[in-house]
């Protein structure tokens, strides 16, 4: 069974990426064989379409409500056979896998489409394409077209498998607002060596870029009555941080995990700014405060904290509740923290609560009551023995985020990377205001914190014939309270995307739907049960209307002989 053509075609328009992967396979054997299509796609993406055509007959994937699809499927298949077509494979990726039996000399074409909104982190957007054909492919091609009306500030490609030979197959064309990256290696360039038919193409192909930013109040783009507003201020003074690291040193952290935690914390200590205040709380079945209050991040204090970190050893139970409440108490009673500063608690744990209060719902409630909106809580779950659902709900209920740290060689880098994302808060209490009576379906428009290098995105539908769309942004910076104003001329903005040959349909409307679904699902995590149902119903309605495979929908893939399989969206919380 030979893949004779594999094409990855990706169009990124104003951060919204639309990727189509087409694989053409022929069975050169003289009997029927299994043809497999396997694609790894970013977890943040939603699959929107899949089809296979066998000898000219097309078998499309149909997106349905998950429960309904499951019922149909269960009645068609005896229990215990549903393998599911999508599974999480690593920190950033999930894998879509389908195989079908094709007759001798037959051809099959698989086509998968997925979409995602690229998220700005540490000053850049990253488009990740996983390349793993597992065989030499006669016609292999990756095309990435980028159109950014704000202008492309820088653009780079990076790959884990590139050789001098292969880099000759890579070309990059770029002007002010557009770029085209083409990677088209010949059979010879793909080979590990001339004798063996083994492929070099195995790993990540990454495009990173950022856009130019002129306007202080961000950039507004409009297509067919839907708008998106990007806001990423630069060069602003950084808020001093008051940060308490709450570190699990229970028995399960023994060995590599505690070593990687030590490595990461030593680097993070070096990154603290002079004006920051910090402290450590470590816990197993006992909760130990390093000092009774937060200390300024002077050279001496940092050195003395580093000495403590070096001695961290793991044994005993897991008293998550006591440790978090101690951290909140320490922030509550600390006098003399800088008046305009950002307070945060960073929890790192690898297990379930086994000491003190063990009921996760009670812990969530107590922590939320204690924090009471004053501080942000970030929860890092190390490995797969944590209850990620519990950590995620706790973080989202307290103005932070949760992240799973994968137990790989780069775990220390994952921890440091996370810290860098939250290390430089430059705005707080950000409100993005639009004319109330002219905008429908506005996505989230107030944000607790803005970190340098990230981006705020708000989208909505302009409901009546507006000529000008006024926006006002209110926020607190370290030195002052800001009000920024901007007016977008609707007709002019609509012109930008006219006659662009690679704009796919109503991309801002799809971007709006993608963002709305993600925010509804996130909100549902920390909502009460009745609200949760209503939020999920809204998200389901949009997922079906715009045909996205989300955690609430399934794609039913029908094969010849009426076999059916399901593609579901996995989530980090399982």
Is 167:230 a contact under the CB 8 Å cutoff?
no
- CATH code reported for the domain at 2-212+555-559: 2.60.40
Please name which of 155, 182, 154 lies closest in space to residue 168, comparing C-alpha atoms: 182
**The 3-state secondary structure of 34-94, one letter per residue:** EEEEEEEEECCCEEEEEEEEECCEEEEEEEEEHHHHHHHHHHHCCCCCCCCCEEECCCCEE
Going from N- to C-terminal start, the domains of the chain cover 2-212+555-559, 224-236+427-526, 241-423
State the distance between the two ends of the chain, measured CA to CA, in whole angstroms. 34
> φ, ψ for residue 555 (rounded to 5)?
-105, 125
Q: What's the angle, vertex CA 237, arms to CA 234 and CA 242, rounded to 5?
A: 120
> How far, in whole angstroms, is CA 27 from its chain's centroid?
37
Q: What span, in angstroms and rounded, lies between the C-alpha atoms of 13 and 514?
A: 14
- Of 102, 179, 111, 105, residue with least CA distance to 143: 179
CA pair distance 123, 119, nearest whole angstrom: 10
pLDDT given for residue 564 in this prediction: 82
Superfamily per CATH, domain 241-423? von Willebrand factor, type A domain (3.40.50.410)
The pLDDT tens digits for 435-463 are 989 999 999 999 999 999 999 999 999 98
Does the reported pTM lie above 0.85? yes
Q: What are phi and psi of 305, to 5 degrees?
A: -65, -40
Q: Exposure string (b/e) for 335-367, b if CB count within 10 Å is 16 or more?
A: eeeeeebbbbbbbbbbbebbbbeeebeebbebb
* pLDDT the model gives residue 79: 42
Structure token pair of residue 539: 């998200």
Q: How many CB atoms are located within 10 Å of the residue 333 CB?
A: 9
Burial of 235 (0-12, 13-18, 19+ CB in 10 A): exposed
How many Cβ atoms are within 10 Å of 80's Cβ, its own excluded?
A: 6
pLDDT given for residue 82 in this prediction:
44
**Rg of the chain, C-alpha, whole Å:** 25
Helix axis angle for 507-525 and 388-397, nearest 10°, is 100
Q: Take residue 427 and report the two structure tokens written for it.
A: 């705005």
- Per-residue confidence (pLDDT) for residue 81, from 0 to 100: 41
Q: Specify burial of residue 9 (Cβ count, 10 A radius: 0-12, 13-18, 19+).
A: middle
CA distance 221 to 454: 18
Sequence-distant (≥ 6) Cβ neighbours of residue 473 within 8 angstroms: 217, 218, 231, 430, 431, 432, 433, 482, 483, 484, 485, 486
Task: Write the pLDDT tens digit of every residue in 32-63.
Answer: 999 999 999 999 999 999 999 998 899 999 99
Residue 251: per-residue pLDDT: 95
So what's the pLDDT on residue 269? 96
**What is the block-wise mean pLDDT of the chain (574 residues), using blocks of 10 residues?**
96 95 95 93 96 92 89 62 72 91 93 97 96 95 95 96 93 96 95 88 96 90 94 94 97 94 95 95 96 96 96 94 97 88 96 93 96 96 93 96 92 94 96 94 97 97 90 96 94 81 76 97 93 96 96 90 84 84
What whole-number distance in Å separates Cα of residue 238 and Cα of residue 275? 10
């Amino acid at each position: 069974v030979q893949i004779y053509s594999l094409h990855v075609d990706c169009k990124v328009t104003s951060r919204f990426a639309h990727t189509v992967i087409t694989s053409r396979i022929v069975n050169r054997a003289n009997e029927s064989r299994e043809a497999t299509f396997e694609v790894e796609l970013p977890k943040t993406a939603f699959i929107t379409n899949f089809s296979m055509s066998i000898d000219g007959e097309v078998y499309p994937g149909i997106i349905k409500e998950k429960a309904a699809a499951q019922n149909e499927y269960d009645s068609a298949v005896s229990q215990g056979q549903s393998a599911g077509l999508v599974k999480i494979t690593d920190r950033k990726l999930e894998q879509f896998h389908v195989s079908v039996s094709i007759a001798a000399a037959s051809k099959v074409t698989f086509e998968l489409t997925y979409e995602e909104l690229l998220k700005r982190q540490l000053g850049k957007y990253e488009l990740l394409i996983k390349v793993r054909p597992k065989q030499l492919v006669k016609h292999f091609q990756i095309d990435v077209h980028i159109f950014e009306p704000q202008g492309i500030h820088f653009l780079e490609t990076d790959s884990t498998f590139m050789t001098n030979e292969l880099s000759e197959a890579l070309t990059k064309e770029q002007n002010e607002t557009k770029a085209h990256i083409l990677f088209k290696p010949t059979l010879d360039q793909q080979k590990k060596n001339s004798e063996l038919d083994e492929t070099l193409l195995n790993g990540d192909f990454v495009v990173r870029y950022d856009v130019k930013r002129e306007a202080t109040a961000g950039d507004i783009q409009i297509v067919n009555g839907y708008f998106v507003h990007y806001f990423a201020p630069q060069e602003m003074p950084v808020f001093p941080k008051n940060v308490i690291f709450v570190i699990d040193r229970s028995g399960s952290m023994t060995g590599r995990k505690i070593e990687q935690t030590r490595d990461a914390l030593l680097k993070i200590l070096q990154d603290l700014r002079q004006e920051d205040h910090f402290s450590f709380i470590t816990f197993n079945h006992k909760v130990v405060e390093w000092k009774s209050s937060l200390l300024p991040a002077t050279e001496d204090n940092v050195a003395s904290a580093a000495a403590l970190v070096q001695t961290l050893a793991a044994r005993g139970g897991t008293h998550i509740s006591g440790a978090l409440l101690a951290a909140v108490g320490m922030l509550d009673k600390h006098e003399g923290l800088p008046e305009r500063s950002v307070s945060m608690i960073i929890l790192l744990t690898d297990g379930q609560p086994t000491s003190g209060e063990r009921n996760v719902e009670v812990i969530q409630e107590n922590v939320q009551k204690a924090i009471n909106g004053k501080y942000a809580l970030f929860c890092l779950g190390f490995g797969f023995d944590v209850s990620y659902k519990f950590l995620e709900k706790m973080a989202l209920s307290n103005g932070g985020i949760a992240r799973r740290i994968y137990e790989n060689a780069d775990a220390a880098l994952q921890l440091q990377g996370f810290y860098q994302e939250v290390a430089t808060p430059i705005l707080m209490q950000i409100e993005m205001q639009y004319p109330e009576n002219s905008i429908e379906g506005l996505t989230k428009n107030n944000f607790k914190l803005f970190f340098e290098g990230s981006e705020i995105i708000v989208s909505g539908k302009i409901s009546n014939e507006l000529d000008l769309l006024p926006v006002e942004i209110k926020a607190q910076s370290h030195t002052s309270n800001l009000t920024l104003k901007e007016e977008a001329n609707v007709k002019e903005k609509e012109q930008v995307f006219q006659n662009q040959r690679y704009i796919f349909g109503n991309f801002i409307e799809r971007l709006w739907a993608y963002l709305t679904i993600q925010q509804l699902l996130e909100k549902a995590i920390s909502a009460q049960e009745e609200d949760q149902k209503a939020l999920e119903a809204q998200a389901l309605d949009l997922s079906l209307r715009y045909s996205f495979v989300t955690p609430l929908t399934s794609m039913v893939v029908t094969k010849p002989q009426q076999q059916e399989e399901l593609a579901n969206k996995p989530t980090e919380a399982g």
